[in-house]
Amino acid sequence: MGSADIVPGVSGGTVALVLGIYERLISHIRFGATALRQLVSREPRAALATVRRIDWVWLGSLLLGILTAIAALSAVIEQMLTEQPVRTAAVFSGLVIGSVLVAWQLIRSRTTMQWIVAAATAVALFVLLGLRSDTHSTSAEVVTQQWWVFTAAGALAICAMILPGISGSFILVMIGMYSEVLGAVNDRNLVAIAATGLGCVIGLGAFSTLLDWLLRTHHDIVIAAMVGLMLGSMRVLWPWPAGTETTTISAPSGDVAAPIVLAAVAFVVVLGVDRVARRRPTD
């Protein structure tokens, strides 16, 4: 999940779906948000009871894996995206296409409505991603916005990070806050960093509660929408002409054979991981 979050257009939520832990993850995040709300409301006993419902060993190992991947692989993936943009994008394309197939199988009752929701979501995200031609901000890394803008940006970005098919970093690029947040980190601007963190907590708490409820009450519709998000994200991941550096797409040209083979291998790997995950207990 950590390595997936590094790439624009790929989300850790996609990996969680493939591994069959997505709903469990959202449920645990909701428990944490509920406990925090109870603590703020001066209900320590209720907060403690809620905290005890969290499988801290499972959640801690997951978070450790995410942070380890980000620390260990960010430089490697960044180099691959720079030196071999087409082939690297092809690998991630294969992973996402395989994830679409896996996620579609999670829908319990496939009806016309699920097809419509998936298609509409895919088209909407495809158009939204096309509002910018580049996926990386070239603005100077300086802080110019008020603290509340950072809070709103953090809330929006964290919601995107837990949804399959779209990355929080690309959302920051689209709303013009990527360089601002990066500038705050580089300049050690504690006010802006704290405001962004506050937004992440608020957004994660509110959105995880909503998403958990939607998964319990409208499971198939929500999964169909997630399938659409992953399909729409292919606008960023399409290998040609320049990998994930742009949302502009073109017909395959130049380096074609190797990227297709790599995408096919990645596709098979996802299906293999899914088969293994289905054989293992998730609780």
Give me the domain span that covers residue 119: 2-279
pLDDT of residue 137: 61
Dump pLDDT digits (tens) for 164-195: 767 677 677 777 787 788 788 778 888 998 99
Q: Look at residue 6 in the predicted model and tell me its pLDDT.
A: 64
Contacts 24+ apart (CB under 8 A), 79-84: 81/7, 81/243, 81/244, 81/245
**What's the pLDDT score for residue 7?**
65
Q: What is the pTM of this model?
A: 0.80
Report how far residue 44's alpha carbon sits from residue 162's, in angstroms, rounded to the nearest whole number. 28
Strand pairing partners for 134?
A: 246
Distances in Å between the Cα of 188 and the Cα atoms of 41, 70, 143, 191, 259 are 32, 20, 11, 9, 40
Q: Where are the alpha helices (DSSP H) in the chain?
A: 2-6, 12-19, 22-40, 44-51, 56-83, 85-105, 112-129, 147-161, 168-174, 178-186, 190-217, 219-232, 234-237, 257-279
> How many angstroms from the chain centroid is the CA of residue 47?
28
pLDDT of residue 116: 96
Position 41 scores a pLDDT of: 84
Q: How many separate domains does the chain show?
A: 1
pLDDT (tens digit, 0 to 9) for every residue of the chain, 283 residues total? 776 666 655 677 777 887 778 888 888 888 888 888 888 888 888 889 998 998 999 888 888 888 787 777 767 777 887 888 899 889 888 988 988 998 898 898 889 999 999 999 999 989 988 887 777 666 666 677 888 999 999 888 888 777 876 767 767 777 778 778 878 877 888 899 899 989 988 888 888 888 889 988 999 999 999 899 889 888 888 999 888 788 888 999 888 999 999 999 989 988 888 887 677 655 4
List the one residue out of 12, 53, 11, 46 whose CA is nearest residue 29: 53
- The pLDDT, as a whole number, for residue 179 is 75
133: Cα separation from own chain's centroid: 20
pLDDT digits (tens, 9 = 90+) for 200-238: 888 888 888 888 899 889 999 999 998 998 898 888 889
Q: What's the confidence (pLDDT) of residue 120?
A: 96
Using an 8 Å Cβ cutoff, are 135 and 247 in contact? yes
Structure tokens at 187: 């300049």
Q: Which conformational region is residue 249 in: left (phi greater than 0), alpha (psi within -120 to 50 degrees), or beta?
A: beta
